[in-house]
Amino acid sequence: MATSNRKKGAELARMQAGLMRIATLAELDTVVSHAGRASDFEVVEDQPTFCGNARKKAVETAAHLRSLGVAASDLVLADDSGLCVDALDGAPGVHSARYAGPHASDRERIDKLLAALERRSDRGARFVCALCVAMVGDGDPASTTPIFEHEASVVGDILEEARGSDGFGYDPIFAPAPHELADAGLASPSDRRSFAELGATVKDKIGHRGKALAALARFLSKQTLFSALDRNERQG
């Protein structure tokens, strides 16, 4: 996973349990410390779209891990995600993590966003997650290309105050729309709980990252099936 964010790594590992083993860059340090520290590497996220940033992180991280001797067959999973608020013309968008400054806390980012929406009735928003997967490979870094790309979103509204503690980022102020909740069996239009109140099980199922990872799971399952069929054909 092209991040040192342990919370994000834990969330991804939980949602992909049984499908793949996920390690963050920080966790890889114990494996590649003889050649350098994986977590010392950082990609400048300067692309205008979530997909662009995810692609850049996947490709550049693959090249870096290749230089540290990570197995060529390993995959690099990169994501870029954020919150897009209608009344703010899509902000904070790709700048979600840096919305209140590069070292701001989740609480500071939330406070800034709530202040920007003060006395606003139009509070529609969507969480977006773009995933990109690239193979570490063993060739020219410039030739590294993604093998999977997908963007997913979940729509809802920004609450007037933060609620709940089971989540991170903007989770405490985002309430998913009723039709999104219906996919988790919670179809009550009056249910205005935040992601931080709904908990991990619901968020994993209807959240932006959960939807994107479900698409990745389908892709990887197909690759496994095709590999098995090809192997059987060669043996048969």
Q: CA 206, 208, 212 angle in degrees (round to 5)?
A: 100
β-strands 75-85, 146-158: how paired?
unpaired
| DSSP-based three-state secondary structure for 169 | coil
Q: How far apart are CA 38 and CA 171, in angstroms?
A: 29
End-to-end CA gap in the chain? 37
How far does Cα 169 stand from its chain's mean position? 12
CB 144 within 8 A of CB 87: no
Residues forming the active site: 80
Q: SS3 sequence, 51-77?
A: HHHHHHHHHHHHHHHHHCCCCCCCEEE
